[in-house]
């Protein structure tokens, strides 16, 4: 009798264990189906992160002279596509700009900035703030990936897609993958007596070109003089210096 009861209890426990295992298996399969469904039907949310664009653009203001200089290299992955792309541009009367990032995105932003400058003539600060506001809030513009340097005879700003409009206290801005190298070199040279804004810009960009693999020494230069009318490429004399090899790898071209 006792042996029969013991066997009966063991059979009952075994059956309960099997039922418990079956229940666990069913629950596990249900959770897997729910996770699979959630994964495939969850909205695609792209997280926008700040990236270091593969180029170097440097802006320097010293002794009433503003210099904007950029390299000319375009890189796709590990391949160099072009050596002399124009990354600086004259906008309107007395305004110059350079960009790091997607070329198409940058030119779209150039067009928007030109519109803002026309709406607010002589008010570069307000034009830049309005552009940054639209860039930050507009459904289309906020997808654009670029960073810009914009300058006139009195101000120089860095504009980003995060709504930032930054004016440096020391008159130096560096953007792009080699921007930090050019910025550091410029800060070291800016207090050296006898060095003009142009001298500092060229030396700092040489250092960036020799340090950053995404930066070459084919420079394009735009200048502004607060004591005179705005000049493109620093006037024909300075443009000739660039074209004739007055700087390392000088294949400067006139911005469109």
Out of 12, 55, 160, 215, pick the active-site residue.
55
CB 219 within 8 A of CB 252: yes
Instruction: Establish whether 55 is a catalytic residue.
Output: yes
Q: What share of the chain is helix, strand, coil (3-state, %, to 5)?
A: 40, 20, 40
Q: Is the dihedral of CA 230, 236, 238, 239 positive or negative?
A: positive
Residue 52 token pair? 């270091």
Nearest to 198 by CA among 229, 158, 231: 231
Long-range contacts of 170-174 (CB under 8 A, 24+ apart): 171/60, 171/61, 171/62, 172/58, 172/59, 172/60, 172/61, 173/58, 173/59, 173/149, 174/56, 174/57, 174/58, 174/59, 174/204, 174/208
Q: Which residues belong to the active site?
A: 55
């Amino acid at each position: 009798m006792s042996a029969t009861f013991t066997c009966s209890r063991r059979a009952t426990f075994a059956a309960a264990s099997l039922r418990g295992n079956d229940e666990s298996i069913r629950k596990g399969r249900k959770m897997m189906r729910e996770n699979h469904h959630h994964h495939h039907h969850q909205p695609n949310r792209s997280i926008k992160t700040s990236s270091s664009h593969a180029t170097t653009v440097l802006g320097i203001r010293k002794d009433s002279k503003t210099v904007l200089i950029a390299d000319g290299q375009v890189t796709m992955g590990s391949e160099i596509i072009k050596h002399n792309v124009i990354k600086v541009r004259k906008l309107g009367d007395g305004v110059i700009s350079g960009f790091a990032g997607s070329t198409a995105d940058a030119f779209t932003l150039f067009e928007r900035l030109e519109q803002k400058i026309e709406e607010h003539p002589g008010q570069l600060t307000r034009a830049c703030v309005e552009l940054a506001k639209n860039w930050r809030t507009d459904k289309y513009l906020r997808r654009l990936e670029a960073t810009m340097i914009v300058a006139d005879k009195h101000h120089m700003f860095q504009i980003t897609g995060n709504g930032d409009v930054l004016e440096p206290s020391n008159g130096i801005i560096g953007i792009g993958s080699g921007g930090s190298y050019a910025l550091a070199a410029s800060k070291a040279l800016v207090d050296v007596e006898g060095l003009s804004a142009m001298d500092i810009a060229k030396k700092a960009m040489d250092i960036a070109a020799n340090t950053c693999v995404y930066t070459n020494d084919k420079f394009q230069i735009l200048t502004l003089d607060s004591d005179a009318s705005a000049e493109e490429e620093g006037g024909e004399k300075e443009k000739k210096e660039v074209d004739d090899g007055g700087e390392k790898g000088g294949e400067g071209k006139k911005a469109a």
